[in-house]
A and B are shown apart, each in its own frame.
Chain A
Amino acid sequence: MKRSKTTALLLMGTAPLLFTACQRTAPVEVQDGLYTSVETCAQAVGDTATCRIAFEQAKLQSADTAPQYSSRAACEAEFPAEECVEQKTSTGHSFIGPLMAGFFLSQMMGGNRAGLAQQTPQASPAFRDNRQGWLRPNGAPGAGRAGMAPVSATPDRAVTANRGGFGRSANGRSTGG
């Protein structure tokens, strides 16, 4: 027999997700970034004001959302010792917990679609643990790491200076042959 014993598709067939070419409206995307400074953020998103606001917002939430420990030793078991300090929440509750080491910025990107207002970015503090992982609050503050979610974004990734430099030679034609 000269042919494949069987053929199957895993991804195709759930077609609409994959074949957007014929229904082109730029998809709204969420762009997440983890930054250790306003500067790296500004380089990445090209908007210093947004990054500064995000940083300030994150800092404000920091004490209220940080993992809380009753002792320095308990905190140092999971976070770098130099970052485990006594802090106070906005309601005055004292605890030992890590300092914010970066901030997480989540933006709704409307592509370049005209008429779609840029959405307000969502910012939150980010904490670096002893295993070089990053955590951010998942909305349910609690003792220790319970209220934290891992951040999958890599901090301060390569800063894209430009897009759109590929594809012009196609001149609108199909490029396969």
Chain B
Amino acid sequence: MRRIGIVERGDWQAQAAECGFRFHTIDGARYWDERAYYAFSMAQIEHDLEDPSVEVHQMAMGLVDEIVESDALMQRLAIPEAFRDWIAESWRKREPHLYGRLDFAYDGNGPAKLYELNYDTPTSLFEAAFFQWQWLEDQRASGRLPRDADQFNSIHEALVDRFAELASSLPPPLLFAAVRESEEDQGTIAYLRDCASQAGLHGAAIALEDIGLSEDGRYTDLDNTVIGSLFKLYPLEDLFNDDFGRALPKSGLRLIEPPWKAVLSNKGLLPLLWERHRGHPNLLAAEFDTGGDLPAGWVRKPLHSREGANIELHLADGQRLHSDGPYAGPSIRQAAHPLPAFDGHYPMVGSWIVGDHACGIGIREDDSPITRDSARFVPHAIVEADAPATFYA
């Protein structure tokens, strides 16, 4: 794994505009950054990332049965009592899920270490599945990358296929919702709607705030039609806390991701995974946090923190770091395993699971060891180890 400088495509901004990729620049700062790429060998991809992703996914799925049948475990994961039966029922019915992203620290040597599972509202999807793919095509065509350069990225195909599998089981109408003001989230649901429609599954978009609740406890669109299925790019635990949340269990609404994803998109899963697979090469030691001063060599993360918020690091060398944010509540501790640094950049590998298949990666790098919402998306390629390090063409 190497970080290699490469010439940007001259027209990438025009291309982004053309395909509706608006959030390539956020508040004037680059989010899409193709001034460099990460080069992997095929062995690194298949042995160190793809296979472990499948394994971790299976370990996580293997825990769901146990968690949903245990009130004590639901309690540990801070899942509100009012939703526990509904969550368990959605698992017993095996309501289908769409996707998830596993975040790994990986430096090209030795096992990738799982930081967390984003199994409810993973983003950075369009850029990984589509724009990254296009980048590789263009750079191969221009001769800046070898003609046989490859990429671990069949995410787009996997999404279209998965939507085709879901089509018959989702009660109509299907809607896609995200909060109105988030351009990134709106872009992500636009892409998912696109993938669904390529599979013949059509769904309209609605701002999450526009969803209505009828007197008989069903959710409606702006036209008062009862919503059958809802893809919501919005955390389940936030739905639970919202005013309309308490109507969910009796509403008959089919959710994507389904309610049982609440037990996987929860950092409490990390200590549970560690308890059952202690010493697994891709897992970091983890435990539920009991509060108090964080010992050296540990990281504290709230159960539901996102975008690297409210993370506290106490590194083995005594150095302390923390990030601000709006999250509170119970936390876990995870053994500190800092991200590798490549020329002062700290990449985190997001490994995509669609359905139950590992189908690609996207890399976000930050200037700090905590990957925040300021992280930039940097493309990757699979190239032969002896390929030249810089291409100008």
Q: Chain A: residues with CB nearer than 8 A to chain B?
A: 1-5, 7-15, 18-22, 24, 29, 31-33, 44, 153-154, 157-177
A167 and B188 contacting across the interface, CB-CB below 8 Å: no
B interface residues, tally (CB under 8 Å): 78
User: What distance in Å separates the Cβ of A23 from its nearest Cβ neighbour in chain B?
Assistant: 11
The verdict on B220 contacting chain A, using a C-beta distance below 8 Å, is yes
- A63, B122: Cα distance in complex, Å: 57
Number of residue pairs across A and B with beta carbons under 8 Å? 195
Cβ of B61 within 8 Å of any chain A Cβ, yes or no, is: no
> CB distance A21 to B183 under 8 Å?
yes
Chain B residue with the shortest CB-CB distance to A161: B215
User: Quick one: given A2-B154, A166-B208, A166-B239, are A159 and B234 in contact (CB under 8 Å)?
Assistant: no
Residues of B in contact with A (beta carbons under 8 Å apart): 17-20, 22, 42, 45, 118, 121-124, 129-130, 133-134, 136, 150-157, 177-188, 190-191, 193-194, 197-198, 205, 207-216, 218, 220, 222-226, 233-235, 237-239, 241-245, 306-307, 326, 360, 373, 382
Instruction: Tell me whether B212 and A167 are in contact (CB under 8 A).
Output: no
Given contacts A19-B190, A166-B243, A173-B182, 19 further A-B contacts (CB under 8 A): A4-B155, A8-B198, A10-B197, A12-B19, A14-B20, A18-B20, A20-B186, A24-B180, A157-B223, A159-B215, A160-B224, A163-B209, A164-B209, A166-B177, A167-B242, A168-B243, A169-B239, A176-B121, A177-B118
**16 sample A-B contacts, Cβ–Cβ < 8 Å, listed by A number:** A4-B129, A7-B156, A10-B197, A12-B20, A12-B191, A15-B22, A158-B218, A158-B226, A160-B213, A160-B224, A162-B244, A165-B245, A167-B180, A169-B239, A174-B179, A176-B122
Which residue of chain A lies nearest to B241 when distances are taken between CB atoms in the complex? Answer: A169
The docked-state distance in angstroms from the alpha carbon of A167 to that of B129 is: 27
Contact call B121/A175, Cβ cutoff below 8 A: yes
Across-interface contacts of B153 in A (CB, < 8 A): 2-4
**CA distance in complex: A171, B235 (Å):** 12
In the bound complex, CA of A19 to CA of B237 (Å):
27
> Lowest 4 A-B CB distances belong to which pairs?
A176-B123, A165-B244, A160-B212, A169-B238
Measured CB to CB, the closest approach of chain B to A31, in angstroms, equals 6
Name the distance in Å between A82's Cβ and chain B's nearest Cβ: 29
Contact B238 A175 (CB under 8 A): yes
A164-B209, A175-B178 are known contacts. Are A10 and B150 too (CB-CB below 8 A)?
no
Chain B nearest Cβ from A118, distance in angstroms:
16
What chain B residues lie within 8 Å of A13 (beta carbons)?
18-20
Q: Are the C-beta atoms of A44 and B133 separated by less than 8 Å?
A: no
Q: Are B226 and A177 neighbours in the complex by a CB distance under 8 Å?
A: no
Question: Is the CB–CB distance between A166 and B234 below 8 Å?
Answer: yes
Bound-state Cα–Cα, A15 to B152, Å: 28
Q: Judging by beta carbons under 8 Å apart, are A31 and B222 in contact?
A: yes
Which residues of B sit under 8 angstroms from A20, Cβ to Cβ? 186
Establish whether residues A175 and B185, one from each chain, have CB atoms under 8 Å apart when the complex forms. yes
| Contact yes or no, B22 A22, CB < 8 A | yes
Chain A residues near B154 (CB, 8 Å)?
A: 2-4
